[in-house]
């Protein structure tokens, strides 16, 4: 018996008139049996001390299943970026 392929559903995407955009260079992850939480924000140097400060601005929450789909789609997007623009280096450049 052959399996039926899932039917792809069309999705209409609606954006608010004032869509906020934020730069993010820091993420913290917390996983429970039901959810994945990703706190995102900006990591900035602390001029008064030695520890940098992470300013968290939003939390993303999704099921483990949606997190896996998100990961797969993000990998596809990054693969396309590297195909078009070259490899993304995550190692700091040496001076």
Residues 6+ apart with CB under 8 A from 78: 88
Q: Mean pLDDT, to the nearest integer, of 19-35?
A: 94
**Predicted local distance difference test score (pLDDT) of residue 66:** 96
Q: Are strands 53-62 and 26-31 parallel, antiparallel or unpaired?
A: unpaired
- Comparing 6-10, 18-22, 42-46, 68-72, the range with the smallest average pLDDT is 6-10
Alpha-carbon dihedral 79, 81, 29, 27, rounded to 10 degrees = 160
Q: What is the pTM of this model?
A: 0.73
Helix (H) or strand (E) holding 78: helix 64-85
Q: Mean pLDDT, to the nearest integer, of 59-83?
A: 97
| 66 neighbors 38 (Cβ within 8 angstroms) | no
Q: Mean pLDDT, to the nearest integer, of 7-33?
A: 92
Residues 82, 88, 94: CA angle, nearest 5 degrees:
155
Q: Mean pLDDT, to the nearest integer, of 29-40?
A: 96
Where residue 7 falls among pLDDT bands split at 50, 70, 90? confident
| 94 neighbors 82 (Cβ within 8 angstroms) | no
Cα torsion angle, 38, 41, 42, 45, sign: negative
Q: Mean pLDDT, to the nearest integer, of 30-57?
A: 91
């Amino acid at each position: 018996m052959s399996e039926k392929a899932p039917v792809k559903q069309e999705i209409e995407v609606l954006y608010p008139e004032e869509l906020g955009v934020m730069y993010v260079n820091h993420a913290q992850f917390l996983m429970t049996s039901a959810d994945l939480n990703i706190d995102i924000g900006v990591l900035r140097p602390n001029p008064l001390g030695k520890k940098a400060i992470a300013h968290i601005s939003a939390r993303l929450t999704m099921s483990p299943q949606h997190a896996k789909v998100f990961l797969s789609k993000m990998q596809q997007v990054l693969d396309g970026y590297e195909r078009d623009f070259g490899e993304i280096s995550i190692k700091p450049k040496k001076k």
